[in-house]
Structure 1
Amino acid sequence: MGIYEDTLEGLRQTIVKRFSSARALAEYADMNPVTLTRWLAEQRAPDFEKLSHLLDAIGARIVFSDAEEIEPARPRSAFDVAIAKILLEDIEYSDISFSDMARSIGRKEEELKKILSGEEPVPAEIVYQICNQTDQNPKIVMKKAAAKQKGS
């Protein structure tokens, strides 16, 4: 396979592993779900700038075969950093303690701390679950994160 096919396959695998659907991934990356669906169905070729934004949002990276030293994969993207900060703030301002939040979304407290502290990428389901518990709109939270990411 070539880079185009590898990229599409990588996106498909990311959807299976981290998101419930292509729509959830598109919303997480603040892009039109129809656009992503057309890319995955190979009905349209991705625009490089939009594809770059999507790949940044999920923490993907390109490794060139002639690289002397390959750095370990970065654990998460600037988008993940921004969304984690927003979610932590939302938890702080809610009436729910961190340990109660972890329990209410079916996660261990240590696991949630890792995700929101930078040790792991922020899965879309965590965004939706925390937003549900804190009465926040996940789309607005994701748009705020995209704006913070661009501003940093």
Structure 2
Amino acid sequence: MTVLTARHITLIQRTFHDLIPQDPEMEVFFGDIFYRKLFAINPELRPLFHIGIAEQAHRLVTMLRWMVEHIPSEQEFHTQVAALGTRHVGYGVLPEHYMQVGEALIWVFQETMAEDFTPELKQAWLEVFQTITETMQGQEAPR
């Protein structure tokens, strides 16, 4: 089970809001880069998505924003993210897909933030993504 520090939560929240402000154009830009990388990693994932990339990008960013804002609210975070995981099983998401999504997500942050994506920030994102993955897969109990 991953344990997030208060410092890591602060870093995650600050960088997410700096990188992806609440702006539909930025959401589509981020999502487009993310999904291009994800489908380059595993082209077989493309058929799991039945809507346009712009709408999917908006959904992705909206959910990530919610997670980033609510990660300190442990019970609410766990309840909502576990439910999201259950829905994703119905979409055909397999356990190995989480690693590929994480790889694409970290890659986008590294590419867009360049030298500002410090080792500490990378570690924070790896830990938060691990927490999300564990929760979505039902491996993490509320803290």
Pick the TM interval, shorter chain: 0.3 to 0.5
What's the TM-score, normalizing by structure 2? 0.35
Higher helix share: 2
What's the TM-score, normalizing by structure 1? 0.34
Please tell me whether Structure 1 or Structure 2 has the larger radius of gyration of its CA atoms. 1
